[in-house]
A and B are shown apart, each in its own frame.
Chain A
């Protein structure tokens, strides 16, 4: 699934709100997103719900560049959105992220 083209930037959280190698949930305008902080301190964002059965990925486990869904352990590469095999077959949509003044901003379409 392609990365969204940012038409507006939205403040999601403070950068230090997310632990290293972790994820939090961010809701905006009736949509839900997952914001990640990688082990090497880079931030990423994807759709918040697993493409398999719409479970919140923010309850899952981040391992290196993988987010594992809490329901059936389906895995995605949160940097690219790529689904890594059954039971997840559909990629996640990803969003551009930038960090400014200690805030994490995500670019929404």
Chain B
């Protein structure tokens, strides 16, 4: 395991966006701050940022094609054991591969054409149980203030880790419950106080409209199931987020879990993990997570090239998911007992992390 630090004077942290840590992050210059970027020439970066529709059209066609084929098999063999492998594949494509699709299309980098990003974004958000406008804004904040306590709404594993919550999320149960609570609020035209800190006033009618559409679809599928006396429709729409969501957490935990908080350097709070081609297809290269956070304009298909360009300035990547989990699982268990403990990533010896005091933070919005 990488080197570790323990802060002996650890105080319980408040991960909400409306608690004392929020103001503290602003005062410490951690909010809307300047982040470290590996040096890379403008010409090379421009080349890496270049957009095209081709790779995403191909990958989306494969994704929808595989969904259709596995769904057809599941439907054909419904009522027999043979349907299980088909629904397993369908579920993973629906409930897990959608995670990277909403993400890349949310950044509008997957396709060159804006409407293609927006259509796939809406579909993938529905599959992964995320409301499109809420998550667009939440993810915007995640990029402004990555793993800054009191500011980032997407810290997946606050310390001390909620192991039960993580286990429940293997079947998306915690996120489904959270969506149910939020949808109930949003269909009534209300936001929770934390969401109100990052969703601007003018975007809120869109949030409420989307919540009503989403709720109507779920209710429609439930009524359909009752009407025909079978859960088959829900096996295609809705339930796959639950029974096929396990790869979302498997991939997602590799991003930041167990690493440092409140640092202005993505090399210290994010992981780049080498994955096999199947995983990289499902995850659309989000395993190059340091690179993605540092240069979010680079589309997923160019991330391996970006990795090559900056890897000498980054910590050693993890050789596999197995290598990452050999670090993550013990780290989370230890953080249960010692919440101040974290995995400290080793930077190459010739570079130093950006000093918070020297970061030239600008005022929070």
Contacts and interface: CB of A to CB of B under 8 A. Distances in A.
Partners in one complex: yes
B137 A86 contact: yes
Contacts of A70: 295-297
A47 B46 CA distance: 21
A73 B200 contact: no
Nearest to B136: A86
A72 interface: yes
B101 interface: no
A75 B113 CA distance: 13
A71 B296 contact: yes
Interface residues of A, number: 16
Contacts of B112: 63
Interface in B317-365: 362, 365
Given A71-B144, A86-B136, A87-B136, A61 B296 contact: no
Contacts of A86: 133, 136-137, 140, 203
A61 B45 CA distance: 10
A104 B114 CA distance: 31
A73 B32 contact: no
Interface of A is mostly: loop
B107 A73 contact: yes
A73 B108 contact: yes
Interface in B130-188: 133, 136-137, 140, 143-144
Interface string B37-73: 0000000001001010000000000000000000000
Nearest to B35: A71
A63 B114 CA distance: 12
A91 interface: no
Interface in A55-109: 60-61, 63, 68, 70-73, 75, 84, 86-87, 89
B202 interface: yes
Contacts of B109: 73
Contact of B365 (A22, A53, A73, A75): A53
Contacts of A71: 143-144, 296
A8 interface: no
A73 B51 CA distance: 12
Contacts of A54: 362
A54 B31 CA distance: 13
Contacts of B51: 61, 63
Contact of B200 (A72, A75, A89): A89
A63 B51 CA distance: 9
Contacts of A73: 107-109, 296-297
Contacts of B295: 70
A54 to B, nearest CB: 6
Nearest to B139: A72
B200 to A, nearest CB: 6
B359 to A, nearest CB: 14
Contacts of A68: 108, 297
A60 B297 CA distance: 8
Contact of A87 (B46, B137, B362): B137
Contacts of B296: 70-73
Given A86-B133, A87-B137, A72 B144 contact: yes
A87 B140 CA distance: 7
Interface string B101-125: 0000001110010100000000000
10 contacts: A22-B46, A53-B365, A60-B297, A61-B49, A61-B297, A63-B112, A70-B296, A72-B140, A86-B137, A86-B203
Given A70-B297, A71-B144, A86-B137, 5 more contacts: A61-B46, A72-B140, A72-B143, A84-B114, A87-B140
Leading 9 A-B pairs by shortest Cβ distance: A87-B140, A61-B49, A72-B140, A73-B107, A73-B108, A70-B297, A86-B136, A61-B297, A72-B143
